[in-house]
Amino acid sequence: MGPKWRIHYYAHLNQNNVAFGDFVNINTQIATLGDTGNAAGKQPHLHYSILSIIPIPWLATMESQGWKKMFFLSPHKKLL
């Protein structure tokens, strides 16, 4: 769990170098890329997302399942 009740989700990591509750900064190596799970045998890569456990209603759209967008935040906007 991160600041502002946000969950940081990572998939396909080879090695995790931090534990729940650890403080990190921009220079901290938090993990190494891998090919775990359904990515076995593929190029090592990472799936990363930021989820809010508190809905942000103005992010929802009228698309099919657009209500889910209330919980997903763009990592590009949050990490720059």
CATH code of the domain containing 70: 2.70.70.10
Q: Tens digit of pLDDT for each residue in 7-55? A: 888 889 899 898 888 888 888 898 999 998 888 889 998 888 889 999 9
- Do residues 10 and 27 touch, judged by C-beta distance below 8 A? no
Confidence of residue 78 (pLDDT cuts 50, 70, 90): low
Question: How many domains are contained in the chain?
Answer: 1
- Structure tokens belonging to residue 76: 């590009």
For the cut 80, the answer to whether the pLDDT of residue 72 exceeds it is yes
User: Domain of 39?
Assistant: 3-79
Q: Which residues make beta-bridge pairs with 50?
A: 8, 73
- In the DSSP assignment, the letter for residue 41 is T
pLDDT of residue 70: 94
Beta-carbon neighbour count of residue 48 at 10 Å?
A: 13
pLDDT of residue 1: 65
pLDDT of residue 60: 95
Phi/psi at 8 (nearest 5 deg)?
Answer: -105, 120
